[in-house]
Amino acid sequence: MGKIKVENTPIEGLYVIEPTVFSDERGYFMETYNIADFKEAGIDCEFVQDNQSSSRRGVLRGLHFQINHPQDKLVRVIRGEVYDVAVDMRPGSKTYGQYYGIRLSEENRKMFFIPKNFAHGFLVLSDRAEFTYKCTDLYHPNDEGGIIYNDPDIGIDWPSDGMELIFSEKDKKWPTLKELK
């Protein structure tokens, strides 16, 4: 295999990716995306848009998805730390409604591949976090959907440890997964 290690999660198609990091006294170098390595690992998609956000501690973004233009995403943290979550929304999937969460940070340099038809969100654990992600479709603002972050049927265990959570107005109002059906 190339310069990445791909780890399966309990949800089919959802992967944690660790790049090979070359370090010396000057710092480090790593490839964050190489189409040949990803294809060899069975992740064969074309990314068409890169995004970056910056958020402060306690910001919870999500759980978001695109309705008619679903996107595969490759996400990572370049500064700070987040708890990143993907919820399976694939019709007929044996893990429909289940989630997987992982800590992504500038220290662990892990990436998270989230396939189409998953809801996605993250909680900022550090004082500040910069989050980047690649998408396989352009953003369509009138095509956005979401699930409320605390849907009891999904049961996400957000590691908020008493921190004050900060939401956008729309993220406070998303329906539950049952209400979407």
CATH number of domain containing 61: 2.60.120.10
Q: Using one digit for the tens of pLDDT, what is the confidence trace for 67-97?
A: 999 999 999 999 999 999 999 999 999 999 9
Residue 13 included in any domain: no
- Cα–Cα distance between 170 and 179 in angstroms, integer? 16
Domains held by the chain: number = 1
pTM value is 0.94
Kindly tell me if the per-residue pLDDT of 141 is higher than 90: no
Residue 167 included in any domain: yes
List, in sequence order, every beta strand (DSSP E) within the chain.
4-8, 15-19, 21-24, 27-30, 49-56, 60-66, 73-79, 81-88, 99-105, 111-114, 118-124, 128-135, 144-146
Residue 70 included in any domain: yes
Tell me the two tokens of residue 17. 């990716």
Which residues belong to the active site?
A: 64, 133
Triad 72, 74, 77: Cα angle to 5°:
150
Q: Which domain holds residue 174?
A: 46-180
Residue 37 included in any domain: no
